[in-house]
Amino acid sequence: MNSRKGSSSGIFLMEMIMVCGFFLLCAAVCIRVFIQADSMSRLAREMNQAVLAAESVADRWKVGASESEGPSGGGWPDQISWDQDWELLDVTDLDGGAKAWYTADLARQEAPGMVCHMTIQVRRGEDHPRRRQDAEDPENILYTLEVERYSPAP
Amino acid sequence: MAGEAKAARPVEKGNMGNHGQLINVLFTMLLFLVFVLCALFTVLIGGQVYENINARSQENFTGSVALQYVANKVRQGDREGGVNVIVVDGTPVLEIASDMGDYVSWIYYRDGAVCELFSDPADGLGLEDGLKILECEGFDVGQSEDKRIIHIATEGEGSGSLSLALRSGGGIDE
């Protein structure tokens, strides 16, 4: 009688261990999915802001802003930086220790009397805490925008 | 005596068996408790993550949709002298001219929402008569000195800003 009781309890224990094992497996998968969803949501937000930032830069350039009408009022640099709240940082901010969370590289091909091109590539900056170090996207590019405008001959 | 000793043995065995049984049940129950706790925490963490994602998505929506809506209106009404930022009762208002005579669209922030009013200013309608377009924590609009660039910005969580160049030159003869 005792041995029968013991064996039924043992089977129950085995069942519980198996259930717990299966549950742990499912929980591990679920948590991985949660983390992935969270990071995708953050990325979506950053991409959203990157699109707005790139559009703003492109519009300022398209209107034919001269060197003195650059994004921060001091000409058109090759690189623009923003802080974590997407506030534009100028050279004095960066020299003062402000962290460049996001950066845009501006590759321009300009000549008077020609159609000028600019490629704006917004990416996570060097100071971004979640900057990925993987080989899949080493540049951490969030958004790329190509713009053209006609520059009249002087 | 020998008979008593023989009688005591099965009782001991029975005690040991019961004790083992108790530990088995206790361990199983403990395992079940761990299972329940893990399940509970997984659900709680999942709920929290879902809440965060939802909140972020909502912030993205209010932040960017308001900006894109206004940007679309500005592009639509971009003609010489057609887009201006004026101040009405201390509130900066984006005024966009329409094809319908003197009718203009006013886009501004009031009572926690971006509002729009399509009217003829001579009719005497004011900021309180506009329709709420989208609720957000703050909305600001400005124009550069040369009137060529319109700045729009939303405030609060998920805020953003956008600079729009007027293709028409903002009313300045080029």
Q: How confident is the model at residue A67, as a pLDDT? A: 45
Give the minimum alpha-carbon distance from A78 to chain B in angstroms, rounded to a whole number: 19
Please answer yes or no on whether A59 and B149 come within 8 Å at the CB atom: yes
The band of B172, judged by pLDDT with boundaries at 50, 70 and 90, is very low
Looking at the predicted structure, is the pLDDT value of residue A144 above 90?
yes
- Which range, A63-67, B18-22, B167-171, is most confident? B18-22
pLDDT tens digit sequence for A102-123: 999 999 887 778 888 999 999 9
Query: Hey, of B26, B43, B53, which one would you mutate to test binding to chain A, going by the most A CBs within 10 A of its CB?
Result: B53
Q: Does the predicted interface ipTM exceed a cut of 0.85?
A: no
Q: Check residue B1 and give its pLDDT.
A: 45
Residue B10 has pLDDT above 50, yes or no: yes
Mean pLDDT of the region A92-110: 83
3-class DSSP state of B115: strand
What pLDDT score does B22 carry?
A: 81
Q: Could you tell me which of B110, B152, B102, B101 has the C-alpha nearest to residue B130?
A: B110
Confidence of residue B9 (pLDDT cuts 50, 70, 90): low
Q: What's residue B21's pLDDT?
A: 76
Between A and B, how many CB-CB pairs are < 8 A?
90
User: How far is Cα B83 from Cα B166, in angstroms, rounded to an integer?
Assistant: 8
Higher pLDDT, B104 or A153: B104
> Residue A63: which pLDDT band, with cuts at 50, 70 and 90?
confident
- DSSP 3-state of B6: helix
pLDDT of residue B106: 94
Q: What is the pLDDT of residue B2?
A: 47
> In the structure, what pLDDT confidence band is assigned to residue A134 with cuts at 50, 70 and 90?
low
pLDDT of B170 reads: 62
Task: Find the CB nearest A13 among B17, B27, B64.
Answer: B27
Lowest mean pLDDT among A38-47, A65-74, A135-144: A65-74
Q: Cα separation of A38 and B38, whole Å?
A: 21
* Per-residue pLDDT at A68 exceeds 50: no
3-state secondary structure of B153: strand
Alpha-carbon distances, residue A76 vs A53, A121, B123 (angstroms): 15, 15, 46
**Chain B residues within 8 Å of chain A (Cβ atoms):** 14, 17, 20-21, 24-25, 27-28, 31-32, 34-35, 38-39, 42, 45-46, 49, 52-53, 56-57, 59-60, 63-64, 67, 71, 148-149, 158-166
Query: Rounded to the nearest 5°, which phi and psi values hold at A119?
Result: -110, 120
Mean per-residue pLDDT, A133-145: 78
- Does this model's pTM top 0.90? My answer is no
In this predicted model, what pLDDT tens digit does every residue of B25-58 receive, in sequence order?
888 788 888 888 888 888 898 888 889 888 888 8
pLDDT attached to residue A1? 46
* H helix count then E strand count, chain B: 1, 8
Domain coordinates of chain B in residue numbers?
1-174
Instruction: Taking residues B123-127, report their average pLDDT.
Output: 85
How far does the CA of residue A62 sit from the closest CA of chain B (Å)?
A: 7
Interface of A with B in 29-88 (CB under 8 A): 30-31, 34-35, 37-38, 41-42, 44-45, 48-49, 52, 55-56, 59-60, 62-63, 85-86
DSSP state of A68: G
Q: What is the pLDDT, as a whole number, of residue A126? A: 81
Residue with more model confidence, A64 or A61: A61
